[in-house]
Amino acid sequence: TSTPVLNPKRYMSSSPCCACAAKIADALKARRNIKLSIFAARLFEWEEAEIQAGLKALHAAGCKIRVMKPLDFSYTWDTFVENEDQPLNLWADCKENYEYYHERLADILQ
C-alpha cells in the first residue's frame, strides 16, 4: 500500500526562525508524503543570512512558503478566530506589506 500524501497548511504571524526551519526541513525530508504550505504574515528577520538559509532549506525540502495576502487574513479571521461576527479591519498598507515581503521572499528563494 502507498502512503497517503498529506497537504497541511500553517498560517503564521512570522516565518520560522533558522532553528525551527531546520527542524521542519528535516521532518519533511524524512516524510516525503507531507507537502507543507506555510503562509506567513511577515518574514522573521529576513535580512539575516542564517534566516535566509533556513527559508531556502525549507523550500529545498519541498515546503511551499508564501506571504499572506489580504485575502488570507480574511480567511484566517473567518475560519480560525472567534470574532463574534465582527468584521476584520485590515491595516491601511496591508497590500503594500504583502507586496514588500513577497518580493523579499522571491529574492531569497531564487
Number of domains in the chain: 1
Residue 100 lies in a domain: yes
Residue 48 lies in a domain: yes
Give me the residues paired with residue 39 across strands: 11, 66
- How far apart are alpha carbons 18 and 7 in whole angstroms? 22
Residue 4 lies in a domain: no
Residues 6+ apart with CB under 8 A from 1: none
pLDDT of residue 3: 87
**What CATH number has the domain bearing residue 58?**
3.40.140.10
What digits encode the pLDDT tens for the residues 16-61? 999 999 999 999 999 999 999 999 999 999 999 999 999 999 999 9
Residue 2 lies in a domain: no
Residue 103 lies in a domain: yes
Which residue range forms the structural domain that includes residue 51? 9-109
- How far apart are alpha carbons 56 and 53 in whole angstroms? 5
Residue 76 has pLDDT above 80, yes or no: yes
Residue 97 lies in a domain: yes
pLDDT of residue 53: 97
pLDDT of residue 97: 93
Determine the 3-state secondary structure of 32 from DSSP: coil
Residue 1 lies in a domain: no
Residue 96 lies in a domain: yes
Residue 2 has pLDDT above 90, yes or no: no
